[in-house]
Amino acid sequence: MHFDYWLDNFWSLSVGGLTQGAIYALVALGYTLVYGVLRLINFAHSEVFMTGTFAVIIAWDMLGYDLNAQRPGTGVVIALLVAGLVAASLTSAGTALLVERVAYRPLRRKNPPSLVFLITAIGASVVLFEAVGLLTDRKLKGAITLVQPKEVFSLFGASVDNVQIMIVVAAVVMMFGLEQFINRTRLGRGVRAVAQNPDAAALMGVNRDRVIMLIFMIGGLMAGGAALLHIVKVGSAQYDVGFLLGVKAFAAAVLGGIGNLRGALIGGLLLGLAENWGAGIFGTIWMNVVPFAVLVLILMFRPTGLLGESMGRARA
Amino acid sequence: MIDKLLKADGRRLGFLAKMGDRWRAIPKGWRFAAGLAFVLLLVVLPRVQIPIIDPIIRTTKIDFTTVLFTVAMYIVVAVGLNVVIGLAGLLDLGYIGFFAVGAYSVALFGSPQSPLATKYPWLICVPIAIAVTMISGVLLGWPTLRVRGDYLAIVTLGFGEIVRLVAQNSAFTNGQRGIGNIPYPPGTWPEGGGGFLDPAWGTLPIFGSATSLGWYWLALACVILCMYASRRLEHSRVGRAWVAIREDEDAAEIMGVQAFKFKLWAFAIGAALGGLAGALFAGKQAFMGSNSFDLLTSILFVAMVVVGGAGNLAGVTLGAILVWYLPERLRGIELFGVELNTGEYRLLAFGLALIIVMTFRPKGLLPKRYRSSQPPVVAEEATA
Amino acid sequence: MRQTFVRAFGGAAVLALALGASAGCVKSGEDANKAGKDCSVKIAFFGALTGPNAALGINIRDGAKLAIDQYNAAKTADNCKIELANNDSQGDEKAAPGIADAIVQDTKIIGVVGPAFSGESKAANGKLSDNGVTIITPSATNPTLADQGWKTFHRALGNDAAQGPAAGRYIKDVLKAQKVFVIDDTSEYGKGLADEVKKTVTPVATGTTSKGQTDFSALITQIKSSGADAVYYGGYYAEAGPFVKQLRGQGVKATFVSGDGVKDDKFIEGAGKDAAEGAILTCPCVPPDKAAGSFAADYKKATGNEPGTYSAEAYDAASILVAAVKAGNITRPNVEKFVDAYNGKGVTTTFKFTDKGEIDLSAVAVWAYKVEGGKIVALQEIPKP
């Protein structure tokens, strides 16, 4: 127990935790959306994120900015970031739709217990990451460093750099956009209707299959955004990145209240903080135990999470 | 195409069901004799070369007896996990946690290298391992069995990872460096071998590192014992309560089944069997490090139960054979001049198998049949 | 209906039993008698050829294969050809005992190059040793392996107890670092190395990473607050790459020092050229171009690749076994006797095994490499104490 150390470095640990938490939050959205509508855990979502990370690097490579290229000017950097976002979002959304098509839709007609869905999702997850692992020889793939971290301002002695600001701001903007989409548009209303009562929604003329495809796609788009931010921060992709990050993002979704969009944001940020604070207090060796412990504790004492499960809640 | 395959597979299931009914129609004495003959065949399997069958089943690149031991050990795992998943309907993704607790109990209580340094012999370590895993099953189940099914899956996954991380990080278990010199049961092979054993084994320890046959026989005995116990349990009041909970927990509660209590029992009994398998693993391996308990192995555990047929002992046995024997048999075999890379593609294949089997046969390759819902047609015919 | 079924079933059971009885027992040791006429033997490779750890295993296999191919190509071979038996363990401890059994039963196998990793060594070497199979590992560097009482165990390179202190001396004497932050990845290899470094330099603080970790902000905060001027990392390149990238991104200037697990071009790819620049990597392996003789050129010709980590050691390990066969030793006890008494120069160092099977640790050359301009270049041999 090192509470002194934790207090001394409180802001530094918090900044790092919030940055990672923002990425968790974006991935957590995928779990939350699917759970909110279908009431099942999309175990394969972690691999949806993983395919996005590779898409970013491959897109940059194809545009001529590979590992050994000189860092281009600001205009090109922004263009490349957008290109990376598009590539990652399309790939992740495509993977998510593929998972839905192969692992979920054939089953949905038979209406089996939800555990069966979980098992096919595990199968899909294993297939995806093994396939990518075999294709990449299970080695990491490096990306060009587009954004060099530079201190922008100092927060009580903790430096905050441009990459960290970019990640947190981008994540919050994406979350806000998604919430507006779900709450204000016609399609979003359809999603809420199915989440609230699938049968009644179907009677009112909502195409359930289309809504389900839509939520898988949105989850994939958000994971694609997370993948870009991950690459900007970490600088390389690896086939097995999904598992640990996925479980943590899932824990974040449960922490905030699975099925609740704002819960995913709060849960992600809190989990990022908890992880870094835990590492500060107990030592880095126990860092990975923190999210699992949080998950178990939350499910024991408040299974509905901090904000409760509420995507289907009616809104005027 | 798919419809035709499904139909063919349906015929296979119908045939198996008919065979099963006929088997049950045989007088008990005959059944017992046939079972005994089969067990005897299994006992001598590694040491005899049965014409035709032997070249098909004997592994070439890896010792056959060791593979048989491994498969038998994982059948114990499958029978234990079957209690949790198949009978009580609780999806446990962290079952490897119990396997690890059992293995580490033996290592910690038995090895002179462990910080406990109690140096108990293996035979004393086994009941300790079973008791410790049962307690850990209850400790995990007490808080978590209140949550819904799919949450439970994730919580147990978390538990399995916590066990692995603690084993890896704490000084007590010595991380990946592990604990060596784990004790094994006493006894030496008889000198000469009586024409059946290898004469070179004379006076070697039965359970030492040089030979695997003793371990195989021990594991086989454990399999038979566990299967018998599991069957008895299934047809007892407890077993009926489990089925009721699995089919509809709320309805079961209304009918007076204490769901929580019986779920906890399922967890504890499943954990105990996992602990027994872990104890076998630790004794045979003689060295215990944290590397052996990764999540993917845990997913393979679930795969063998679910693909084989949850709830059906024959099914989970088939699952264990598919997951642990088949890749070893295919190891190093050349097909069209290319060496089959079974290690590399094993997980990929089982991922695909999980999707396909679950989509077309959600109840597994050898699904459980319930007598209550299907009247025994053949039996009636026989008595008529 | 029932009658026929009973008869059929009973008949099948009886038949199975009869077959079993008539089949006779498995004969073992039949090959041993043949050895007199036919002197061809096998050397087994034992390590990962597939799976996440395959890269090192393939380096080792190729090194051993080169030694054996060279022997077979030479006319002196007569009919005593040597075959390399590949045993792919995937680095999985659970599979290792079964593979060891299979090696033991193939009496043509006179020696093993491997097992490649320390974990699988612990699970397999007991069996190999009990059955008199000579073991020469070219890569398992855990010091405790020599203390397990395995009679036939040999190690063709310095263990962590050679590399760790050398890294420590380099940090202390060459870099003259005052505050050293020591990190390990909790793996058998990484922790073993970091623990040895800690014995030579007193760390200002310690930390850990874990497999698959990508966010190191908590650890970097710790490094910053410790004011370290050197960071030692015991682990593999997969985590070291992203870690160094984030370390430099956070403005930490401390020299990054690590071991042979990071000495891989993928480290530079993961960290980025700028961040990796100046990293010091130690290895108890001689730079391939400094290896004696034409090894580097031959290897390149045979495989098309530059010699990788442990290729030269594997070549040496296999060469010692080949030398035993050349001297006419084709039984396990004779090979073991020959290797125990072996005294000769290989491409990496001079081999003379101690009772425990170690080479003379003071003779082990540990080299420091440096990342310069996106390449790993040999810097100097770390001075012996």
CA C152 to chain centre: 17
User: Residues 299-358, chain B: which have Cβ within 8 Å of A?
Assistant: 299, 302, 306, 344-345, 347-348, 350-355, 358
Which chain B residue has its CA at the smallest distance from C88's CA? B343
User: Residues 178-197, chain C: which have Cβ within 8 Å of A?
Assistant: 186
Q: In the numeric block, which tokens belong to residue C142?
A: 């855990």
Other C-beta atoms closer than 10 Å to the C-beta of A109 total 7
C-beta of residue B152 within 8 angstroms of C-beta of residue B245: no
For residue A296, the chain B residues in CB contact (below 8 A) are 143-144, 155, 158-159, 162
Query: Does B195 reach chain C within 8 Å, measured CB to CB?
Result: yes
A199's enclosing H/E stretch is: helix A198-203
C-beta of residue C306 within 8 angstroms of C-beta of residue C63: no
For residue C244, the chain A residues in CB contact (below 8 A) are none
B58, B65, B177, best to mutate vs chain C, most C CBs in 10 Å: B177
For residue B343, the chain C residues in CB contact (below 8 A) are 50-51, 88, 90, 92
Nearest CA of chain A to the CA of B150: how many Å? 6
* pLDDT at res. A155: 84
- The per-residue pLDDT string of chain A (316 residues; one tens digit each, 9 = 90 and over) reads 788 888 888 999 999 999 999 999 999 999 999 998 888 889 899 999 999 999 999 999 999 888 878 888 889 999 999 999 999 999 999 999 999 999 999 888 887 877 788 889 989 999 998 899 889 888 889 998 888 888 888 888 888 999 999 999 999 999 999 999 999 999 999 999 998 888 899 998 899 899 999 999 999 999 999 999 999 999 999 998 888 899 899 989 988 988 888 999 999 999 999 999 999 999 888 888 888 888 878 877 887 888 876 655 544 3
Measured CA to CA in angstroms, residue B186 lies from A308, B190, B199, B219, C260 at distances of 58, 13, 19, 15, 43
What is the distance between the alpha carbons of residues C62 and A275, in angstroms, rounded to a whole number? 43
What is the distance between the alpha carbons of residues C75 and C30, in angstroms, rounded to a whole number? 29
Q: In the numeric block, which tokens belong to residue C321?
A: 């076994």
What is the distance between the alpha carbons of residues A274 and A262, in angstroms, rounded to a whole number? 18
* pLDDT at res. B147: 75
ipTM of the complex: 0.91
Query: Does A9 reach chain C within 8 Å, measured CB to CB?
Result: yes
Query: Does B165 reach chain A within 8 Å, measured CB to CB?
Result: yes
Q: In the numeric block, which tokens belong to residue A209?
A: 């299959």
Spell out the residues 6+ positions from residue C191 whose beta carbon is closer than 8 angstroms to its own: B175, B176, B177, C184, C185, C234
Which chain C residue has its CA at the smallest distance from A289's CA? C210
* pLDDT at res. B341: 64
The CB-based long-range contact list for C34-39 (8 Å cut-off, 24+ gap) reads: C35/C107, C35/C108, C35/C330, C35/C331, C38/C79, C39/C78, C39/C79, C39/C80, C39/C330
User: Residues 291-320, chain C: which have Cβ within 8 Å of B?
Assistant: none
Other C-beta atoms closer than 10 Å to the C-beta of C385 total 9
Other C-beta atoms closer than 10 Å to the C-beta of A301 total 8
Query: Does C206 reach chain B within 8 Å, measured CB to CB?
Result: no
For residue C374, the chain A residues in CB contact (below 8 A) are 68
Collapsed DSSP state (helix, strand, coil) of residue C359: strand
Q: Is the CB of C13 less than 8 angstroms away from the CB of B47?
A: no
Instruction: For chain B, list the strands marked E by DSSP.
Output: 334-335, 338-339
User: Residues 43-72, chain C: which have Cβ within 8 Å of B?
Assistant: 50-51
Which chain C residue has its CA at the smallest distance from B291's CA? C93
Query: Does B67 reach chain C within 8 Å, measured CB to CB?
Result: yes
- The per-residue pLDDT string of chain B (384 residues; one tens digit each, 9 = 90 and over) reads 778 888 888 888 888 888 888 888 889 899 999 999 999 999 988 888 888 888 888 887 788 999 999 999 999 999 999 999 999 989 898 999 999 999 999 999 998 888 887 889 999 999 999 999 999 999 988 888 877 777 788 888 888 888 998 898 888 888 887 888 888 898 888 887 777 787 777 778 888 777 789 999 999 999 999 999 999 999 999 999 999 998 888 899 999 999 999 999 999 999 999 999 999 999 988 888 888 888 888 988 998 998 888 889 999 999 999 888 888 887 767 666 566 666 678 778 888 988 998 888 888 888 887 654 444 444 444 443
Angle among Cα B152, B157, B159 to the nearest 5 degrees reads 95
* pLDDT at res. C12: 52
C26, C61, C89, C193, best to mutate vs chain B, most B CBs in 10 Å: C26
Q: What are phi and psi of B214, to 5 degrees?
A: -60, -45
* pLDDT at res. C75: 64
Q: What are phi and psi of B204, to 5 degrees?
A: -75, 150
Residues in a beta bridge with A158? A155
Q: Is the CB of A303 less than 8 angstroms away from the CB of B306?
A: no
pTM value is 0.87
Which chain B residue has its CA at the smallest distance from C85's CA? B61
B66's enclosing H/E stretch is: helix B64-82
The residue ranges of chain C whose pLDDT is under 50 are 1-2, 15-36
* Tens digits of residue pLDDT in A66-101: 887 888 888 999 999 999 999 999 999 999 999 999
Query: Does B57 reach chain C within 8 Å, measured CB to CB?
Result: no
